[in-house]
Structure 1
Amino acid sequence: MIEDTSKKHYMAWMTLAMLDFVTIIRFEDVFYPYQNQGLSVIFSWIFLLICYQLPYTMITTQLGLAYKDTEEGGLASWIRRGTGSDVLGYATSWMYWAQTVPYLVDVSNSIIVSISWMILGNNTLGKHMSPFMFGLLTFVIILIFILCESAYKNSLDLLSLIGGIAMFAMSVIFVILIIWALMHGGHIATKMEWSSFKPNFSVHYFSTTGLLIFAMSGAELAAPYVTRLKNPRKEFPKSMWMLFAMTVFMTLTETLGLAVLFDAKHIPHDFKMNGAFYAFQLLGEEANMGKSLMYMYAIVCLLNFMADLAALIDAASRVFASDTSEKYMPSWLRKKNKDGLPVNSYILTCSITLFLLLLSGTLPEINDIFNWLLNLNGIVSPYKTSVVFLAFLAFRYKHSTFGKDDFVFIRNQKGALAVGWWCFIFTFICATMGFLPQDVAFNTPQWDKQLWMNIITVIVLFGTGFLLPWLRKLELKRQKA
């Protein structure tokens, strides 16, 4: 029977851009680099947006359109088709899963922080809760969401939509209130001098750049939706350009807004954990609204983080249902329940999560736990993003000529390969530099401890993926015997 395409429901290209935007960059993602680099982060944002984010977005656009008819155009399928290797396709899928786990724990931590602000109305969570209890509650939240995901598949789709739109709205409100405050005699906390914008190219500076890449990574998440556009060749590039424009607007305007509220040279030590709440608390006081803006943000933040957690848990299970899983994963790990969900994959996710929480529980304060887990994303996420550029290089080495109708990022072959190699090398170096601890003093016991924690965690996250094919091989041998 021939499908009636005239009745097919298509997605608007602006909807796709918004969907990708709320998935990629969060309001508080701009706060983390501001604490690390101060106002000089403006230079970092501009450099990365032009020399990194723009080619990254266009590379994703070309790959998304080139592979739009194969396996929904995910990153793993890009690698498989580009290299012709199932092993690399599996490794990419595993890397994608592994890099979601620290983010999953980070989001769960943020849920607790949001609830604490809703209940306490201040930053005194550490006085009411021990680091052990903080880790235990984080694990309980993840476990509850996994059970909900297993029992009510896709039950949190509406929450994801509401949370994403509400968070974007709060970002716009933040910028509007900053402008309003300045128009009504508001004081600028940071001195706008050249010395404030000038970056200090130190080891610390480059070790913190991974968090900027983490904040703006994920354009490839839009690829599976290419086939839902009515005219992908025209509309998908529009979506990517809109995504890029929104990222530019949010990163630059929000950073300047932070410079208005917080002195870049005297940033609170718990800024990564509580900075967004401080910002709305200050704006509420400036607008004579008390703490109402802060409470509003806490509610929106909670909804958004809950939606993120549901999406991450769902995404974490997809690698175990991929077409390469049967070849490289033990059968017990791919076991599904009556609803088609890989239940043992959830158990593995819980196990790795528990490992991270037990490791982070050795740190002295909740703020240290929050910062370490957050900074861990600045390592594993860029490593995943570097695979996007490997997929692009593999594709361009295979295809040097294109038709007039193809979307091509840099038609000159040497130019395209040069940009692809630049993006890959830069991303890989930033990810590797991220191993160096950022929020503790160099050459102290805490610095050495966090360095080893970073190394051990990455080995466990990525190394487990190499262990599973070996277990599958042993399983097949036992079956033959």
Structure 2
Amino acid sequence: MDTFDEAQKRKKLTWPVIALMDFVTVIGFDDIIYNFQNQGLAVVSDWIVLLILFVVPYELIVGQLGATFSDDGGGLSSWLRHTSGDRMGYITAWCYWVVSLPYLVDVANSTVVSFAWLFKGHALSDKEMSNWAFALFTAIIFVIFIFFQHRFANSLQWLSIIGGGAMFIMTILFVIMTIVYLGEGRRIATQPFHFKNFLPTFDMKFLMSLGLLIFAMNGAEFVAPYVTEMKDGPRNFPKAMYMLAIMTGFLTIFGSFALGVFFNAHHLPDDLKMNGSYYAFQAMGEKFGMGKFFLYTFIITQALYMLAQLAVLVDGGARIFLSDTAKKYLPKQLTKTDKNGLPINGYWLTTGICSVLLFLSATLPSVNDIFNQLLNLNGIVSPYVTGLLFWAFIKIRLHPEKFPSQYVFIKNKTFAVIVGWWCLIITVTGATFGIVPIDAKAGSATWWHMLILNIVEPLLMIGLGIVLPLIAKWQRSKEN
């Protein structure tokens, strides 16, 4: 892989490529499945409401922040450093990096599931693979990919273009085939299928799943470090955010509706979050008499898409690790770089934390429970950190004279600040209620097990973030 200095010499990234790079971290067919299981067809209304009241403002806020700090390569950590000081920049860099780790584990889990479908042609069962074997295979895939990522130059761009583009095409195909299916007058799986099914239910279950809804649509800021590699970044980065918002809206609304056609939203499989995407394309193939053609096309697409996600997450995390702010608060050993300019010890720390999270969750009763708990962990930690983004936006809008930008989201200063606070409150609310397990019966042994993990695992990550600066401070004192 190129060093970061060499990266500057590469061909400039275009805004459609940036949008596709972002798309693989923001939304995927699996994200639709996860929330469909939580909310049923009512999730269609949830997506529409959130798109209007949260997603579009969020992605255009990212557009203004990226345009404002277009000369900085640290992304969110750079934004907070400029608006709130170096210490806040480190806290953000650490938090943003560490909350990506449960997602890395989740993506690696999904990669294992995709290969299981590829070689077996059906869903994994506990009899075929134990919890510990599942955890071990996930860890192996994760480690192998880190080495793969750094052996091939430009793998990030190509994987993002192929993986993101293929997934979007498969989603469009799924929606088109659903329209054809309905046009032929065939039976809809969800019965009764009427307007009331789509009405949102703003109850405790909605609040418990809000964090996962936000998690499904956040991550737009992860490509912010690449603004410096764009041609006319301040002007073109917001265009990528507009394209991303359109793709996100299409996928969530029409994809969720299409699922209600092939699945009975009132009686969904328990393992839908882990295997639902495959069940969907398997069902579509069966309905149209095409066997497993759609299923295997999706399996290959899913594998590429997961590799693209790993590429963006690992590469973006490296840039945060190498930022000047992070170096100041991290032990020297973690920022040590290899001959390619990459923080190799940082990657070993990444592997270590991911392994701890994975094996802690492997104490749950089944592979399906492991998958669901690690997935829902993302709906807790990720929105909390996304809230920092809105804090940075509030700061730049309160002081426009200090932070000029070629692109301004909402000209009116007061209204812009209100929107920033609104988005911040939504993310914190979703993250807090997400601590309560949604995939187990309340009060059961599994429910308590998940609740303990949902509290302990984030505390471990926060604790490590406190210890590392103390070690760095001790090292500096020994040098003086």
Same-fold status (TM-score > 0.5): yes
Distance in 2 (CA, whole Å) between partners of 1:12 and 1:159 is 15
Q: Which residue of 2 aligns with 1:136?
A: 136
Distance in 2 (CA, whole Å) between partners of 1:89 and 1:401 is 18
Distance in 1 (CA, whole Å) between partners of 2:329 and 2:21 is 32
* 1:66 Cα deviation after fit: 1.4
Letter in 2 for 1:460: L
Q: Which residue of 2 aligns with 1:117?
A: 117
Distance in 2 (CA, whole Å) between partners of 1:8 and 1:379 is 37
Q: Which residue of 1 aligns with 2:68?
A: 66
Distance in 2 (CA, whole Å) between partners of 1:240 and 1:163 is 18
Q: Which residue of 2 aligns with 1:397?
A: 398
Matching of residues 380-419 of structure 1 within 5 Å: 380-399=381-400, 406-419=406-419
Distance in 2 (CA, whole Å) between partners of 1:119 and 1:361 is 23
Q: Is the 8 A contact 1:217 1:385 kept in 2?
A: yes
Normalising by structure 2, we get a TM-score of: 0.93
Does 1:290 pair with 2:291? yes
Distance in 1 (CA, whole Å) between partners of 2:96 and 2:322 is 13
Q: What is the root-mean-square deviation in Å for CA atoms of aligned residues?
A: 2.1
Distance in 2 (CA, whole Å) between partners of 1:158 and 1:178 is 30
Distance in 1 (CA, whole Å) between partners of 2:138 and 2:73 is 33
Q: Which residue of 1 aligns with 2:427?
A: 427
Q: Which residue of 2 aligns with 1:127?
A: 127
Distance in 1 (CA, whole Å) between partners of 2:151 and 2:442 is 47
Letter in 2 for 1:239: A
Q: Which residue of 2 aligns with 1:164?
A: 164
* 1:233 Cα deviation after fit: 5.3
Matching of residues 428-443 of structure 1 within 5 Å: 428-443=428-443
Distance in 1 (CA, whole Å) between partners of 2:375 and 2:400 is 39
Q: Is the 8 A contact 1:400 1:413 kept in 2?
A: no
Q: Which residue of 1 aligns with 2:3?
A: none
Distance in 2 (CA, whole Å) between partners of 1:402 and 1:63 is 9
Distance in 2 (CA, whole Å) between partners of 1:14 and 1:251 is 20
Q: Comparing 122-131 with 111-120, which one deviates more in the overlay?
A: 122-131
Gap change, CA 1:157 and 1:126, over 3 Å in 2: farther
Distance in 2 (CA, whole Å) between partners of 1:275 and 1:351 is 30
Matching of residues 454-469 of structure 1 within 5 Å: 454-469=454-469
Letter in 2 for 1:57: E
Does 1:270 pair with 2:265? no
Does 1:51 pair with 2:41? no
Normalising by structure 1, we get a TM-score of: 0.92
Distance in 2 (CA, whole Å) between partners of 1:226 and 1:476 is 33
* 1:402 Cα deviation after fit: 9.0
Distance in 2 (CA, whole Å) between partners of 1:312 and 1:14 is 19
Gap change, CA 1:330 and 1:14, over 3 Å in 2: closer
Matching of residues 73-84 of structure 1 within 5 Å: 74-83=75-84
Q: Which residue of 1 aligns with 2:349?
A: 348
* 1:115 Cα deviation after fit: 1.0
Distance in 1 (CA, whole Å) between partners of 2:131 and 2:13 is 45
Structure 1: 5+ residue stretches without partners:
1-6
Q: Which residue of 1 aligns with 2:31?
A: 29
Distance in 1 (CA, whole Å) between partners of 2:17 and 2:340 is 30
Q: Comparing 165-174 with 145-154, which one deviates more in the overlay?
A: 145-154
Q: Is the 8 A contact 2:396 2:402 kept in 1?
A: no
Letter in 2 for 1:353: C
* 1:136 Cα deviation after fit: 0.9
Cα deviations by residue, 1:84-103 (Å, 9 ceiling, x for unpaired): x1011011111111111111
Partner-residue secondary structure (3-state), 1:362? coil
Distance in 2 (CA, whole Å) between partners of 1:376 and 1:79 is 24
* 1:77 Cα deviation after fit: 0.9
Cα deviations by residue, 1:400-456 (Å, 9 ceiling, x for unpaired): 7998x8422222222111111111011011111111111001112221111110111
Cα deviations by residue, 1:357-388 (Å, 9 ceiling, x for unpaired): 11111111111111111111111111121111
Partner-residue secondary structure (3-state), 2:202? coil
Distance in 2 (CA, whole Å) between partners of 1:413 and 1:120 is 57
Distance in 2 (CA, whole Å) between partners of 1:458 and 1:127 is 31
Distance in 2 (CA, whole Å) between partners of 1:396 and 1:169 is 38
Distance in 2 (CA, whole Å) between partners of 1:358 and 1:217 is 26
Q: Is the 8 A contact 2:21 2:160 kept in 1?
A: no
Partner-residue secondary structure (3-state), 2:339? coil
Gap change, CA 1:353 and 1:9, over 3 Å in 2: closer
Q: Which residue of 2 aligns with 1:322?
A: 323
* 1:180 Cα deviation after fit: 1.4
Does 1:103 pair with 2:141? no
Letter in 2 for 1:442: A
Q: Which residue of 2 aligns with 1:479?
A: 479
Letter in 2 for 1:145: F
Q: Comparing 293-302 with 163-172, which one deviates more in the overlay?
A: 163-172
Q: Is the 8 A contact 2:334 2:345 kept in 1?
A: yes
Cα deviations by residue, 1:173-217 (Å, 9 ceiling, x for unpaired): 111111111122321122332331223332221011111111111
Distance in 2 (CA, whole Å) between partners of 1:343 and 1:59 is 33
Letter in 1 for 2:59: T
Distance in 2 (CA, whole Å) between partners of 1:152 and 1:233 is 29
* 1:11 Cα deviation after fit: 4.2
Does 1:368 pair with 2:344? no
Q: Which residue of 1 aligns with 2:211?
A: 210
Q: Comparing 274-283 with 169-178, which one deviates more in the overlay?
A: 169-178
The partner residue of 1:40 within 39, 42, 48 is 42
Partner-residue secondary structure (3-state), 1:125? coil
Matched residues, number: 471
Cα deviations by residue, 1:289-322 (Å, 9 ceiling, x for unpaired): 1012101111111121122223322333333211
Distance in 2 (CA, whole Å) between partners of 1:339 and 1:408 is 38
* 1:330 Cα deviation after fit: 0.9
Q: Comparing 92-101 with 303-312, which one deviates more in the overlay?
A: 303-312
Distance in 1 (CA, whole Å) between partners of 2:15 and 2:153 is 27
